[in-house]
Structure formats: C-alpha cells, structure tokens
C-alpha cells in the first residue's frame, strides 16, 4: 500500500471513507479481495508470498491499512512480515514489539475512534481527530504532494455524495485513484518521492499500482469494500465488491 486517504467522522452520514492504492512488484503473487473462510470475519486481499495483507476490514468493527515507510538502510529482508501485523490488528490482537518490522505507517479505525501507528523513527500511536487524513511512504506529519492531492479529492467527494447514492457513489473516488498525472511541483518540498513514483496511480511494468480500494461505512454501521485490480500495463483485470456490517452502540 503506497497511498491512502481516510475521512474519519467528517460527514453527517459517513462514519468513515477510505480510498487507497496498493503499489507493489507485479511478480509478487496475491489473492483478490475476499471474505476469508477462516472464521476471522476479515475481508481483505491476501499476499500469497508472506501470507498477510495490506488493507482490510473485520466485521467485528475494525479497519487497518499499512504503508511502507521509505527510510535509509531499509527494507531489511530478514525482518518480520508487515502484512502479518495487519492481520493481527484486524483480529483484535495487541501488537508486540514493533521494532521487528521494517518501517511502516498504519491507519487503524473502529466504530469509536481512529489512530495512526508507526515504528519509525520511534514507535508511536496517536489518536486522529475528525477530518480527512492522508498517508503515503513518508512521515505522516509531512504529506507528499500526491497525498495532499488525494486528500483534496476525498474532501470534494464528501461534499457531494451521500449514502443514498448507493455503490455507484464510489466511482469518483476510483477515478481519483486512477489519476496518473504528476501533482504540481511544490517549491517547498525537500524530501518528496522520486519523479517516477509521484502520481497517485503508478503505471509501471515492474513496480506499479496493483489495486485500488474504496471503503465506506455509514453512521449506522453499513459498510462496503470495493477493489479494482490492474495488470502490469495498468489495465483493469477485475473488481470485487463486498458488503459488511459494523456493530454500533
């Protein structure tokens, strides 16, 4: 997962809205979004190489997504799988030592609150206020230009859409996630992404956007998670849409 925007408690009708792209090597095997058959209540894709996931929801009332944090000297191949950390958090487990993982940022939400968890440069977990929050592969407090671009798209969507518009309401968010135009140059940006990875949608035959995911949860707990998948040329290869329900009260 390389970019995500989350609207948390920022709309009278929507409790949470997430729009995210997973960027990964195209040769890395993965399974599409599905309701897992292990009794966990998890709805997510699955990394078939390490067994974890990059983003998912649990019907017990949890959402977790992770992005890698680009830092000097990392990643180190002998470290534990960050995808397994996501699975544990979705299952409601308390994470252990986070220093065993390569650097990451994690967004966590449930029907009552949301937070940002990171292990770089130090392990911290902070609650998130109501609003639109963005995450990419750098420091949460210093969003990259493409992160601000996606945040703006999500904020504009919130101003126009409502639950009564049904599943088709997410079409605009998928369009925003498919934007492969570089964001405007920021003269104040001193530590941003390298040019090939600047767009929201990365079209690259080796390492690029593998899937886009949109999650919506209404105030009364009705949720929808939708995933669109892409091949190495950036062409759509499939879509999965799954309803779920979060407990309220």
Tokens standing for residue 13: 């009708």
pLDDT at 163 over 80: no
Give the pLDDT of residue 187. 46
Task: Please tell me whether residue 62 adopts helix, strand or coil conformation.
Answer: strand
The mean predicted confidence, pLDDT, of the chain is 92
Residue whose token pair is 């649990």: 58
pLDDT over 70, % of the chain: 91
Q: Are the C-beta atoms of residues 116 and 106 closer than 8 Å to each other?
A: yes
Task: Mean pLDDT check: name the lowest of 13-22, 101-110, 158-167.
Answer: 158-167
Give the pLDDT of residue 167. 65
Nearest Cα to Cα of residue 177 among 194, 201, 199, 159: 201
Tokens standing for residue 60: 């017990």
Give the pLDDT of residue 190. 44
170: left (phi over 0), alpha (psi -120 to 50) or beta: alpha
> Beta strand 14-25 with 30-35: parallel, antiparallel or unpaired?
unpaired
The order of strands in the sheet holding 236-245 is: 131-135, 3-8, 14-25, 207-218, 222-230, 236-245
How many angstroms separate the CA atoms of 139 and 136, rounded?
8
Across 60-78, average pLDDT: 95
In this predicted model, which residue has the larger pLDDT, 91 or 185?
Answer: 91
pLDDT at 162 over 90: no
* CATH 3.60.60.10 matches 3-245: yes
Give the pLDDT of residue 188. 46
Across 220-229, average pLDDT: 97
pLDDT at 122 over 80: yes
Across 162-166, average pLDDT: 65
Task: Mean pLDDT check: name the lowest of 82-91, 147-156, 195-204.
Answer: 195-204
């Amino acid at each position: 997962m390389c970019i995500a925007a989350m609207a948390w408690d920022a709309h009278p009708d929507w409790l949470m809205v997430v729009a995210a792209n997973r960027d990964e090597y195209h040769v890395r095997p993965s399974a599409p979004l599905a309701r897992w058959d292990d009794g966990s209540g998890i709805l997510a894709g699955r990394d078939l190489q390490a067994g974890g996931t990059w983003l998912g929801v649990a019907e017990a009332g949890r959402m977790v997504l992770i992005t890698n944090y680009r830092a000097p000297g990392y990643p180190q191949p002998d470290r534990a799988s960050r995808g397994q950390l996501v699975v544990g958090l979705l299952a409601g487990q308390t994470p252990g030592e986070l220093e065993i993982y390569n650097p990451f940022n994690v967004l966590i939400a449930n029907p009552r609150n949301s937070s940002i968890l990171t292990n770089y440069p130090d392990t911290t977990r902070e609650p998130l206020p109501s609003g639109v929050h963005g995450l990419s592969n750098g420091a949460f407090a210093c969003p990259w230009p493409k992160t601000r671009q996606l945040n703006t798209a999500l904020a504009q969507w919130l101003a126009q859409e409502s639950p009564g518009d049904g599943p088709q309401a997410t079409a605009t968010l998928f369009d925003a996630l498919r934007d492969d135009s570089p964001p405007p140059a920021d003269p104040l940006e001193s530590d941003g992404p390298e040019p090939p990875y600047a767009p929201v949608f990365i079209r690259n035959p080796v390492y690029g956007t593998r899937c886009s995911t949109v999650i919506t949860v209404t105030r009364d707990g009705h949720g929808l998670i939708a995933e669109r998948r892409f091949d190495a040329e950036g062409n759509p290869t499939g879509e999965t849409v799954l309803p779920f329900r979060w407990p309220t009260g």
